């Protein structure tokens, strides 16, 4: 009974979920679980109950939504936030508190991370307030409870846990001074009246959400996000969503691995290159890369020693490519990619970077070719899948885009399931 298209349409209407982005199996399993819980014998019987019960509608949504989050996910973004927050306070002459929005906030890890980062950076409690919002009342209630297990603390640096949590038998309790900075509520991004009477926000976090919508819903959500973000504010998004915002006129602020975009680009500056990075690669010493002079440049380029790459230099060169790309040095990053391919076996990540560099430069056809090469070498490369899907969607190939989105979602779920 669970493959009834009415349930797919219901979730699309209520929360904007594109079934292709998560796969039909996820929704089918959720419908089957809820049907069994209600002892519904047929699809029609469960559908009838779903239509007449707000509680059951929310229960089905809860069954589909599987939050995957932890404290200080994408840690560089919180470093960038702290730096920008201090500058923003100077700009507004500290005449008011900074307003920060996190949505979807899931079970609270992100809004509490924002509060902890700003407190650790030296901001006083009266200088900022954080608003967390999620479509799931269950997730919001868990966030309000503020009790977390070990799975919410990942990565090598969890010293913040000693500063901001108290351990009890049932888990780690968030400190009251952090809790007081965060206000939590239920809300739906597809609601046209969402936060209608609220002032705009200096910083908005909306990560890993747009990739689960079709193109029309992405545009609808983006318009809401743009309206919520102050004209001089910054929007933080997920690693795979950069090209989507780029197509709506947003520009990366150029902060490495922060995935931060501004509504307005500086007219005198070229747009920085946005490059989502893989897990950090240990740095090794390597000779400088040759720098290509820009065409018609009147500034002489310093001479550097070409790389004499050896197999052991592969990791260092990959790291160097990432550094160059994140610094906005697209020509040098492309040259480094070519250097890698000249001295080492083909690597999916290198072709992905070449695709992204071409994508940012506006060479869609060239970008497609590179993304496809990356996928030939690594069929489940989730970032290449999502960026290629975005390209296909912009060219009108919605069916192809959805197939790629489904593959990317399966890849991300598989990676999540294998994490300890």
Q: Which fold has domain 311-418?
A: 1.25.40
10 Å Cβ neighbour count for 249? 12
**pLDDT tens profile 368-409:** 888 888 887 888 888 888 888 887 777 777 777 777 777 777
Class of domain 75-262: alpha beta
**Higher pLDDT among residues 280 and 130, named by residue:** 130
pTM, 2 dp = 0.60
Bond before 104 cis per omega within 30 degrees: yes
Average pLDDT rounded to a whole number, residues 355-380: 81
10 Å Cβ neighbour count for 117? 20
What DSSP string describes 105-158? -TTTHHHHHHHHHHHHTT--GGGEEEEEEES-HHHHHHHHHTEE-GGG--SS--
Backbone angles phi, psi at 405, to 5 degrees: -60, -40
Distance CA 61, CA 140 (A): 14
Contacts with 311 (C-beta within 8 Å, 6 or more apart), sequence order = 344
Q: Residue 12 above 70 pLDDT?
A: yes
What confidence tier does 89 reach under pLDDT thresholds 50, 70, 90?
Answer: very high
**pLDDT tens profile 121-169:** 999 999 999 999 998 888 899 999 999 999 899 877 899 999 999 999 9
What confidence tier does 197 reach under pLDDT thresholds 50, 70, 90?
Answer: confident
Instruction: Return the bridge partners of 15, or none.
Output: none
Q: For 153-209, give the secondary structure using H, E and C.
A: CCCCCCCHHHHHEEEECCEEEECHHHHCCEEEEECCCCCCCCCCCCCCEEEEECCCC
Average pLDDT rounded to a whole number, residues 41-48: 87
pLDDT of residue 414: 62
Instruction: Kindly tell me the burial class for residue 420, based on how many C-beta atoms sit within 10 Å of its own C-beta (0-12, 13-18, 19 or more).
Output: exposed
Q: Residue 215 above 60 pLDDT?
A: yes
Length of the chain in terms of residues written: 420
Contacts with 239 (C-beta within 8 Å, 6 or more apart), sequence order = 74, 259, 276, 277, 383
Rounded (10°) angle between helices 24-37 and 5-15: 100
Q: Are 383 and 411 in contact (CB under 8 A)?
A: no
pLDDT of residue 420: 52
Say which range, 268-277, 279-288, 385-394, has the weakest mean pLDDT. 279-288
Average pLDDT rounded to a whole number, residues 314-336: 84
**Higher pLDDT among residues 215 and 140, named by residue:** 140
Ordered strands of the 260-262 beta sheet: 182-186, 128-134, 98-102, 201-205, 229-236, 260-262, 251-252
Mean pLDDT, the chain, rounded, equals: 80
Strand ranges for 336-384 from DSSP E: none
The CA-based dihedral angle spanning residues 74, 129, 233, 192, taken in that order and rounded to the nearest 10 degrees: 100
Domain ranges of the chain: 5-64, 75-262, 311-418
Please, what's the b/e burial string for 162-193 (b: 16 or more CB within 10 A of its CB; e: otherwise)?
Answer: eebbeeeeeebbbbeebbebbebeebbbbeee
Average pLDDT rounded to a whole number, residues 409-413: 68
């Amino acid at each position: 009974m669970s493959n009834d298209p009415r349930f797919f349409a219901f979730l699309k209407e209520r929360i904007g979920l594109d079934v292709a982005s998560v796969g039909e199996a996820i929704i089918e399993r959720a419908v089957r679980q809820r049907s069994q819980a209600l002892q519904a014998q047929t699809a029609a019987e469960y559908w009838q109950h779903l239509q007449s019960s707000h509680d059951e509608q929310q229960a089905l949504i809860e069954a589909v939504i599987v939050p995957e989050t932890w404290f200080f996910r994408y840690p560089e973004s919180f470093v960038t936030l702290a730096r920008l927050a201090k500058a923003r306070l100077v700009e507004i002459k500290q005449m008011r508190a900074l307003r920060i929005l996190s949505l979807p906030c899931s079970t609270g890890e992100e809004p509490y991370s924002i509060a902890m980062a700003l407190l650790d950076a030296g901001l006083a409690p009266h200088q900022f307030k954080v608003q967390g919002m999620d479509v799931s009342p269950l997730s919001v209630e868990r966030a309000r409870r503020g009790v977390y297990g070990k799975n919410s603390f990942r990565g090598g640096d969890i010293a913040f846990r000693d500063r901001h949590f108290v351990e009890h038998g049932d888990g780690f309790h968030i400190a009251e001074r952090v809790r007081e900075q965060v206000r939590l509520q239920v809300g739906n991004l597809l609601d046209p009246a969402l936060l209608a009477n609220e002032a705009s926000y200096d910083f908005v976090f909306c990560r890993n959400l747009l990739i689960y919508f079709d193109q029309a819903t992405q545009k609808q959500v983006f318009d809401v996000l743009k309206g919520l973000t102050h004209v001089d504010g910054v929007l933080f998004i997920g690693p795979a969503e950069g090209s989507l915002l780029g197509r709506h006129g947003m520009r990366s602020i150029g902060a490495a691995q922060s995935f931060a975009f501004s509504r307005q680009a500086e007219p005198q500056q070229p747009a920085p290159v946005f490059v989502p990075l893989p897990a950090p690669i240990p740095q090794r010493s390597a000779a400088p890369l040759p720098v290509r002079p820009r065409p018609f440049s009147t500034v002489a380029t310093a001479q550097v020693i070409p790389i004499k790459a050896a197999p052991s230099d592969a990791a260092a060169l990959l790291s160097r490519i990432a550094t160059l790309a994140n610094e906005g040095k697209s020509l040098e990053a492309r040259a480094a990619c070519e250097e890698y391919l000249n001295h080492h076996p083909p690597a999916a990540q290198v072709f992905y970077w070449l695709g992204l560099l071409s994508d940012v430069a506006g060479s869609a056809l060239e970008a497609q070719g590179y993304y496809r090469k990356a996928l030939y070498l690594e069929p489940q490369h989730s970032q290449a899948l999502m960026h290629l899907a975005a390209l296909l969607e912009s060219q009108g190939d919605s069916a192809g885009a959805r197939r790629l989105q489904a593959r990317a979602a399966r890849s991300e779920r598989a990676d999540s399931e294998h994490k300890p």
